[in-house]
Amino acid sequence: MTSFLKNDRFLRALLRQPVDQTPVWMMRQAGRYLPEYRATRAKAGDFMTLCKTPELACEVTLQPLDRYPLDAAILFSDILTIPDAMGLGLYFSEGEGPIFSHPLRNHQAIEALGIPDPHQDLQYVINAVSLIHRELAGRVPLIGFSGSPWTLATYMVEGGSTKTFSKIKGLLFDQPHSLHLLLDKLAQAVTLYLNAQIVAGAQAVMIFDTWGGVLTTRDYQLFSLQYMQQIVAGLQREQAGQKVPVILFTKGGNDWLEHIAATGCDAVGLDWQLPIGEARRRIGQKVALQGNMDPCVLYASPQRIREEVAEILASYGHGSGHVFNLGHGIHPQVDPEHVGAFIHAVHEFSPMYHGSVQNN
């Protein structure tokens, strides 16, 4: 499919084309569980410097690929780069996560927001994508990404992490017109941002809807899904003669898989709460599936990890259209040796589900 890629099985699986084995990568695969990441993070001095220095972002993006036979790289960045570029003053507090100095508290503040130009306000991300693409030299595809409008809005209105979602839901119920204005601006910003990543070298893109699952069915469709669909419709789906697949991932979104699959995306990301075989029966004829091992399995013994991998592969069954992943990001305390056992198991057990069997 992609003559310049030495390993294109990730892209082929996303497009439900035949592969020799099930591709595998991990959300947050460049992260704190790796000692080499921690060393680079210490060299950077703080998290935002790591994100905003393309050479360092490239270094940590490539670290897991140097250690494991992964089938894709994902840009090292943060989902909150767009709100930061909108002037909300993002910083990270140890033990508290992201915090905004200027959270959105009224309609006037939302009206005043500009839509960032990725080639000015987010040029450091675009430079990182270009550098990583060049350094990969066709080794594996590069995934670009963004947070979903609803997820970004949640952080921007709450001012940081939350357990109650009281401020964003208060806005949703009391001033829906203000929230729709914010979400529309964010959808425009995400579309521009992802398209710039695609031009710079991202060969697939993923939208992380981390907080979509806190909504009711009605509100998910109104305040999250329709804006992701707007983004999908505005994305550049081909670059340099190659298709650019789009993955949508709503954590806690298993009730709405059919609606997510109908957006026009190429693949739906799954958390660990639904057997992947059931998800395939529901939507696997329309889209590829990405997932969906519980990240906590990686705390178990290598043998138990292998058993879980085998069970998920068997649940999905024969044929292409499955990208093996965790159901959410890898935890910082996981033993890197257990990660190696996980990836090796996917590559060891998955070929039997491909090859001479017809792909669905």
Residues marked as catalytic: 28, 32, 41, 78, 155
Look up residue 262 and give its amino acid: A
Residues facing 146 on adjacent strands: 207
Q: What is the DSSP letter of 116?
A: P
- Cα distances (Å, whole numbers) of residue 272 to 137, 250, 278: 33, 12, 12
Cα–Cα dist 243/169, whole Å: 37
Return the SS3 of 201.
Answer: coil
Tell me whether the omega of the peptide bond preceding residue 292 falls within 30 degrees of 0, making it cis.
yes
Q: Is 78 marked as binding a ligand? A: yes
CA 314 to chain centre: 24
- Cα distances (Å, whole numbers) of residue 158 to 117, 161, 217, 218: 24, 7, 22, 22
Pull the structure tokens for residue 14. Answer: 């996303």
Whose tokens are 């990660």? That residue is 339
Asked whether the beta carbons of 100 and 83 are under 8 A apart, the reply is: yes
Spatial CA neighbour of 245 closest among 287, 294, 190, 182: 287
Look up residue 90 and give its amino acid: L
Q: What is the DSSP letter of 221?
A: I
Cα–Cα dist 324/288, whole Å: 11
Spatial CA neighbour of 79 closest among 149, 21, 5: 149
Q: Is 28 marked as binding a ligand? A: yes
Q: Is 210 marked as binding a ligand? A: yes
Q: Is 31 marked as binding a ligand? A: yes
Q: Is 30 marked as binding a ligand? A: yes
Known binding-site positions: 28-32, 78, 155, 210, 328
Which residue ranges make up the annotated binding site for substrate? 28-32, 78, 155, 210, 328
